[in-house]
Structure 1
Amino acid sequence: MKLTFRAVEEKKPGQKLSAIFSEYRNAYLKWWASEGLSSRPTYSECRHALKTYMPELLEPYDMLCAAFGAGDLEARFLSFYCPPRYLAGCSQAIWQGSEPLMVRNYDYDLTAFDGVFLKTAWNGRQVMGTSDGLFGLLDGMNDAGLTVSLTFGGRREVGEGFGVPLILRYLLQTCSTIEEAKKVLLRVPCHMSYNVTVLDRKRQFFTAFLAPDRPTLITRAAVSTNHQERVEWKSHARLTATVERERYLLHRLTLHPETKELFVRAFLNPPLYSLAFDRGFGTLYTAAYHPHNLTAELLWPGLRWQKSFDQFDTDSVQVVYPRQIA
């Protein structure tokens, strides 16, 4: 199995993003309709939700819709409002050293992944991160050094709210500080349970446990895998080894002080690096964000891809994944 990761820079939505959207349009819309269109909100409802909770995103939303020639379905998809359910694996942690460093593994289905590391300057704010649906982000950083990443929270409940990748985009578009990010996460509804870790240039951080059926909880957790305060979905926990991965990371953070290189390298090996590609939970990439110097790295075993706001080459790398793991 192969995937080409592309680095794309486009200050405002235009031909580059439009071309990528055209490639993925059928897959995006098929996924959006996967639970039946009657269960998805109307365009009017989607736009009203954006205006209510994320008004600052209306301008880039409209620009994206215009650039993509979006009709009704495309515009509803791009809103990320009440999307179909989706489950991921993932691990993320804050290094305990002197510099701010967030490292994460993204474990998901290879066939449902953009493979785009995107740099934008919407509304005058520079943001770079791993794209989801070209509007949302799975992880990323802005020009203030604020860094965010997500993991699935390990719960079945679904409610009214936004897909968490758009919430990450909103954080990076509108927030410069930890306190601003907390306020956003406490008021913007998320349609499923997710864990969002936020880090700044001063190494201040928090992890928010988002859920559609209970208030957001702000914690000082430096480690996040695929449950929240406790395991609530036991079969998913066993499938993804969420408890084992959390214990492994906590052990490394508390008992074995190590260099940042060793810490990053740990994510490229089991138990953090998942080989469950045949079950849709293989590690698609490792990301390391360095807020102090506004740089990011995407890594795979034997391969390192570096990006920064000052030097963002629009190149690509090809990654080969195991075809099947028994």
Structure 2
Amino acid sequence: MPISLQFQAVAEDVPGEKWRALFERAWPSYRAWFLRSGVAGRPSYLESRRALRTHMPELVPTWERLVELIGGGDVEARFLSLWCPPPYIAGCSQAVWIDPGGHEEPMLLRNYDFAPALLEGNWLATRWVGSRVAAMGDCLWGALDGVNDNGLAASLSFGGRTVSGTGFGIPLVLRYVLETARTTAEAVAILQRVPVHMSYSVTLLDSKADWATVFVNPDRPTEVTRRYAVTNFQNSVEWPEHARATHSRDRLAALQLQIVQPGPAQQAINVLLQEPLYQNAWQRGYGTLYSAVYRPMSGRAELWWPEECWDQSLHSFEEGSRQVILQDRNRL
């Protein structure tokens, strides 16, 4: 059965009525998820505020404004801090592509694989801390992937481990990276000091073509690597069942092969839209919902689907919406 998704591009430099409308639409589902183990199972308001002030102080004024916009509720404030949220697991593939001939600018490529019903679909252009940021939203002010006008692009993928601990949900950490870092080196320094609550891989690319893939975990030191490509495990598969279900090894092999082959940028993008990287397991919660391409040198961002591309620029981000129909092309 075809899957219908709605994406919207929203430009709002300072959080206001547009962001509040997004919150009001999504909050009932997020509230149920956040409180699934009860109110007492989540950190208090004071603990959440202390964590933000300690680890990501530049975000505190924005957090306070967001909380004020929605009425100052205790549960809402605790949720938006993303301090020790409930666990969540996704798929995803990501890679850095650099033209060996130097003719085309470097790109950060990624596929976002997740449950369709849980996608926000909000492509947000903001100036919350000062930098212009265009990012795919999650948890209402976090980021799944994006680029800023300092010339830094970043994306995240699940790291393939079920362990959880004391730390922030990774979408808010990625938001912090995009809001405050100018280079891959600065982003790496942030990821080395900000605690996360689950295992993730973060790929970074800046306008000087410096790049890194960083493995973050709640129970292990942060590891900075020069992996061009990554799927849903870090150094080795530690959750075999998840790796098999999401074809993590097959996706990584296909992505690595494409990255090392000579060819134009479009050829690399096309691989994201083909099996095994493009997955159709939407009913099981890890089908490909969109592919993203970030070009930090020119400040361009693109969302891709098999039959469509949505192109934006940090310098002229245009609001709008797209309805995307996903279907298994093997059954057509």
Partner of 2:111: 105
Letter in 2 for 1:23: R
Aligned residues, how many? 325
Report the TM-score when normalising by structure 1.
0.97
Distance across 1 between alignment mates of 2:330 and 2:71: 41
Letter in 1 for 2:173: I
Partner of 1:10: 12
Distance across 1 between alignment mates of 2:144 and 2:200: 11
Distance across 1 between alignment mates of 2:35 and 2:264: 46
Q: Judge conservation of contact 1:278–1:324 (CA < 8 Å) in 2.
A: no
Report the TM-score when normalising by structure 2.
0.95
Quickly say closer, same or farther: Cα 1:324–1:111, change in 2 above 3 A: farther
Work out which of the residue numbers 305, 308, 312 in structure 2 matches 1:303.
308
Partner of 2:239: 233
Note if 1:165 corresponds to 2:201: no
- Match of 1:117, SS state, is strand
Partner of 2:286: 281
Partner of 2:127: 121
Work out which of the residue numbers 291, 299, 317 in structure 2 matches 1:312.
317
Quickly say closer, same or farther: Cα 1:325–1:61, change in 2 above 3 A: farther
Unaligned runs of 5+ in 2: none
Note if 1:244 corresponds to 2:250: yes
Deviations 1:65-112 (A, max 9, x none): 111224111111101110110000000011131321011000001111
Partner of 2:52: 50
Pairwise mapping of residues 90-101 of structure 1 onto structure 2 (< 5 A)? 90-97=92-99, 98=102, 99-101=105-107
Deviations 1:199-225 (A, max 9, x none): 001111001001011101000011010
* Alpha-carbon shift at residue 41 of structure 1 (Å): 0.6
Distance across 2 between alignment mates of 1:103 and 1:239: 22
Unaligned runs of 5+ in 1: none
Distance across 1 between alignment mates of 2:286 and 2:329: 12
Q: Judge conservation of contact 1:152–1:193 (CA < 8 Å) in 2.
A: yes
Q: Judge conservation of contact 2:280–2:328 (CA < 8 Å) in 1.
A: no
Work out which of the residue numbers 249, 257, 263 in structure 2 matches 1:258.
263
Work out which of the residue numbers 105, 130, 142 in structure 1 matches 2:136.
130
Note if 1:290 corresponds to 2:292: no
Aligned-pair RMSD on alpha carbons?
1.4
- Match of 2:117, SS state, is helix
Distance across 2 between alignment mates of 1:271 and 1:227: 16
Deviations 1:93-143 (A, max 9, x none): 111313210110000011111111000011221111100022100001111
Q: Judge conservation of contact 2:95–2:229 (CA < 8 Å) in 1.
A: yes
Pairwise mapping of residues 182-197 of structure 1 onto structure 2 (< 5 A)? 182-197=188-203
Distance across 2 between alignment mates of 1:181 and 1:313: 27
* Alpha-carbon shift at residue 324 of structure 1 (Å): 12
Q: Judge conservation of contact 1:277–1:324 (CA < 8 Å) in 2.
A: no
* Alpha-carbon shift at residue 325 of structure 1 (Å): 9.5
Partner of 2:43: 41
Regions of 4+ moved over 4 Å: 323-326
Q: Judge conservation of contact 1:91–1:272 (CA < 8 Å) in 2.
A: yes
Percentage of identical aligned residues: 46
